[in-house]
Structure 1
Amino acid sequence: MSGSAAFPPAGFRRLVNAVTRRTGLHYYVDKADLLEEVVGARMRLHGCRTCHDYLALLADGARGDAEWRELESVITIGETFFFRYAEQFAALERTILPRLIRRAQATRHLRIWSVGCANGAEPYSIAIVLSRLLEEAGETLADWRIDILGTDISTRALEQAREAAFSAWSLRDIAPTQRAEWFTPISARLWRLHERYRRMVSFRYSNILDLLRPDGGPAGPFDLILCRNVLIYFAQAQAVGLVHAMAARLVPEGWLLLGHSEPVSDFRPFLETVRLPGTLAFRAPPVGGMQAAPAATQPLPARRVPRAAAPAPLPDSTPVAAAIRRVADGGHVARAMQMCRAHLAQHPVDVRIHFLFAVLAWGQENLLQAEESFRRVIYLCRDHVMARCYLARLLEDAGGHAQAARIRAQMTELASRCPPDAPLPDGDGLTAGGLLRLVRQLDEPPGAAPGAASGAASGVDPAVARAQQVPS
């Protein structure tokens, strides 16, 4: 933390406390330098010389409220893309949404809430899957009232969500045929989601901490709540309290999905923990209280989801990567690659940024650079599963089938050593078990029944879905 006149320790600590009190983002408590950089830019914009001046601005009525919204927009990390976390979308497509559709036959009304929706990719993905499931069930979408609510603390992200215009980076898990079916090109770099899906989703500003206040936050009940990669920024006690508040807003037997990296805990007696293929889900008890779940979805004992082995990231590696992804998401891939180079010049062994640079290079069809960078990741982190996954695909596309097969075998061996539900580093939620299932699909004889609902949901070839993520 800086000791400059603008950021004396005592004054800056008051500012950090104000930010965490307002937003709940415990994430910044031990990342003062990163917050100082963000706040410093806002202070310079308004001509504030000290933390005291900036705190006075934040307390200045309507002007302060407007500045809080801007500050909240720049300190939140909102990178996301369509059909993120294939295992969870498989669970939504195969189990959760079909059950909700059957239960709502009488009312033909479903309410879904996407917490921390960022640019809208998550609620719009739900709209696409739900629309298709209704059609397959012989239902007419116009006969249903589908209310999908997306909320976020970032007003900038909400503006992007309402525009529903996305770059290839946000659509990187969607095959070209599905992109043409669901989106309309509006420029060389942007596609807009079709109106039929956009009108299923509404957006509004909301701070998730409002749930801890009487009558705060969106009113329930909801059939499904998605709160993925939100609770990781909060202290454990706050996270459990927020889950309890969301559970109170579920209908009986309604569903809650959390991110793979969230602090998973024992939420009984107000939620059942349910195992679905490749992921965990949480379900509100039926009317009359908690009952034993069917054998196929027996509640599990509470535990923290383990992670695959990986070296600890360098300080601030996650926000640096998120900033680079935001730039790439805006269509400025060359600039994003330059940001990677600049960071790696200072931190040459940062595995996460090397991996991101390799993915960006592949998306730009710079195959030699991508191959070199993936190999560097493997050199720095010998058990990096996803680098081998990408490298095998890249080599296979280039005709190096024997070498690709050898690297894929190494990948499979490494993944098999991990717990099946362990998220793979740099896999965007893909678990070790999920990757192994995709590998088995490659070995299935032609005509075999597809084994991954995520391919059907997102339109991605099951052999490529999530295991081979590159910008479209």
Structure 2
Amino acid sequence: MTGPGAFPPAGFRRLVNAVTMRTGLHYYVDKTDLLQQVVGARMRLHGCLTCHDYLALLSDDVRGDAEWRELESAITIGETFFFRYAEQFQALEHTILPRLIRRAEATRHLRVWSVGCSNGAEPYSIAIVLTRLLEEAGMTVADWHIEILGTDISTRALEQARRAEFSAWTLRDIPPGQRQEWFVPAGGRAWRLHERYRRMVSFSYGNILDLLRPDGGPAGPFDLILCRNVLIYFAQAQAVGLVRAMADRLAPEGWLLQGHSEPVSDFSPFLDTVRLPGTLAFCAPRSGPRQDVARQPVLAGPPAAPRRAPVPALPPAPVVDSTTIATEIRRVADSGHVRRGMEMCRDYLARHPVDARIHFLFAVLAWGEGSLLQAEESFRRVIYLCRDHVMARCYLSRMLEESGGWAQARRLRQQMVDLVRRCPPDMVLPDGDGLTAGGLLRLVRQIGDAPAIRAARISS
């Protein structure tokens, strides 16, 4: 082997096996190119010429644990932002958290666990919503004992979470008024979360696989566990075992939320499936294991409407699969290097100029950085390349509205609504971060055209 850029199949398979055994990240089994990029960088840093050399470093009694932590941080995709998944936060704000608050009025004690918390945006979002709900109910937050725990396998992400400083990109979907209310300027384009929310959250290193070991993982009971976009990295059988372990740590009538794209969605008999507007949630039985396996209570919302015949969607514009580069660009942007992410978009688009996905990502990054002309140009290019792109119209209408272009914004919103109505309600919108067509229509109806899109905090 002549250098770290070459990976003999046998040696690399041993390395992949070591990574999956340690982290459980089945995600990389069929994404070896992405793993090779990350491992290659670590090998070059340490001067390792072969996979065997790097495996020896990982096994070293003195340096191995520290290098594992660095590798885990590098291979973990920490893509997150405040109030991610608008429909789930609607369910949290209007159903789940109010019920938990009412149930805990006597003890005034609530425990929340954010699994895979990344930069802390998720647990901090819960702190903001809980504070608002308690104050709206005439209660004092200081009189409550609220524990919000965030755990992650990435030590870099945890360091960022503890600092509670976020780029304008991470806060891209928070309206200016709320940004001023919840954050303070921290120099440049960074913002620091107010101390009143920071002190409600604590962070610690945690590998979710510890749950499968005796006495592993945080001890329950928790009133709410958020494990969103974590299980997608694991094989289905392993994911079911992890959910079972989390269910064992829920308080009676405690809640579990997972991401829209997780590998499994049926956790009977140990959790009830609860259908809420636009999302599914899972609830622990009142006491003991559930006896009626078939029961699936509907706690909110009308019965599901009969499914309409699917409307064929136009084929996507990209001529290549840009999933890997889009994931890497988002990881770079979420780590605070937004301009570097924009450069990566430009480099890629120089080779693939008709990739609508990367044009859209560049537009969102440019908007977050305040480059409004570049953002508008790129959103319009996405619409030109992909005529039925809903989210490009959603974002562009918001941006034009904020700059006073009301007439254009109204036209784009109407086009957006017309396109969405042609889609099956359960269709996940491209670049909508899990938002469905039906979910977007519900948000528009609930809050009104422009405020709905703004308050929904939809992001790519």
TM-score norm. by structure 1 comes to 0.87
CA RMSD of aligned residues (A): 2.9
Q: Note if contact 2:390-2:420 (Cα within 8 Å) is conserved in structure 1.
A: yes
Q: Does 1:415 align with 2:420?
A: yes
- Percent sequence identity is 77
Q: Does 1:325 align with 2:330?
A: yes
Gap change, CA 1:312 and 1:146, over 3 Å in 2: farther
Gap change, CA 1:258 and 1:315, over 3 Å in 2: farther
Q: Deviation per CA, 1:128-161, whole angstroms, max 9, x where unpaired?
A: 1111111222222222111111000000000001
Measure the CA separation in 2 of the matches of 1:319 and 1:187: 32
Gap change, CA 1:396 and 1:179, over 3 Å in 2: closer
Q: Does 1:466 align with 2:456?
A: yes
Q: Does 1:339 align with 2:329?
A: no
Match of 1:373 in 2: 378
Measure the CA separation in 2 of the matches of 1:308 and 1:156: 43
Q: Does 1:431 align with 2:443?
A: no
Q: Deviation per CA, 1:318-367, whole angstroms, max 9, x where unpaired?
A: 44223323443455433322110101223333332111112223344544
TM-score norm. by structure 2 comes to 0.89
Q: Note if contact 1:389-1:467 (Cα within 8 Å) is conserved in structure 2.
A: no
Code of the aligned partner of 2:417:
T
SS at match of 2:257: strand
Measure the CA separation in 2 of the matches of 1:135 and 1:366: 37
Code of the aligned partner of 2:456:
R
Measure the CA separation in 2 of the matches of 1:88 and 1:464: 16
SS at match of 1:226: strand
Code of the aligned partner of 1:207:
N
How far 1:401 moved relative to its partner? 5.3
Code of the aligned partner of 2:281:
A
Q: Note if contact 2:81-2:170 (Cα within 8 Å) is conserved in structure 1.
A: yes
- Bigger drift between 17-26 and 348-357 goes to 348-357
Q: Note if contact 1:189-1:331 (Cα within 8 Å) is conserved in structure 2.
A: no
Match of 1:452 in 2: none
Higher RCO (Cα < 8 Å, 6 or more apart): 1
Q: Note if contact 2:172-2:368 (Cα within 8 Å) is conserved in structure 1.
A: no
SS at match of 2:30: coil
Q: Does 1:243 align with 2:243?
A: yes
How far 1:282 moved relative to its partner? 0.7
Match of 2:367 in 1: 362
Measure the CA separation in 2 of the matches of 1:108 and 1:461: 33
Q: Deviation per CA, 1:394-414, whole angstroms, max 9, x where unpaired?
A: 455566655544443332122
Gap change, CA 1:401 and 1:57, over 3 Å in 2: same
Aligned pairs for 1:16-415 (under 5 A) are 16-290=16-290, 292=295, 295-297=298-300, 311=316, 317-329=322-334, 331-395=336-400, 404-415=409-420
Q: Note if contact 2:256-2:282 (Cα within 8 Å) is conserved in structure 1.
A: yes
How far 1:437 moved relative to its partner? 2.6
Gap change, CA 1:5 and 1:202, over 3 Å in 2: closer
Gap change, CA 1:288 and 1:40, over 3 Å in 2: closer
- Bigger drift between 181-190 and 121-130 goes to 181-190
Measure the CA separation in 1 of the matches of 2:186 and 2:4: 47
Measure the CA separation in 2 of the matches of 1:40 and 1:261: 29
Q: Deviation per CA, 1:35-63, whole angstroms, max 9, x where unpaired?
A: 11111111111111100010011011241
How far 1:110 moved relative to its partner? 0.8
Gap change, CA 1:382 and 1:467, over 3 Å in 2: farther
Gap change, CA 1:166 and 1:314, over 3 Å in 2: farther
Gap change, CA 1:371 and 1:317, over 3 Å in 2: same
Measure the CA separation in 2 of the matches of 1:379 and 1:257: 37
Gaps of 5+ in 2: 305-309
Gaps of 5+ in 1: 445-459
Code of the aligned partner of 1:108:
R
- Bigger drift between 149-158 and 461-470 goes to 461-470
Q: Note if contact 2:420-2:437 (Cα within 8 Å) is conserved in structure 1.
A: yes
Q: Deviation per CA, 1:191-239, whole angstroms, max 9, x where unpaired?
A: 2112221111111111111111222111111110001111111111111
Gap change, CA 1:201 and 1:403, over 3 Å in 2: closer
Query: Would you say how many aligned residue pairs link Structure 1 and Structure 2?
Result: 450
Measure the CA separation in 2 of the matches of 1:276 and 1:437: 12
How far 1:300 moved relative to its partner? 9.7
Measure the CA separation in 2 of the matches of 1:366 and 1:161: 27
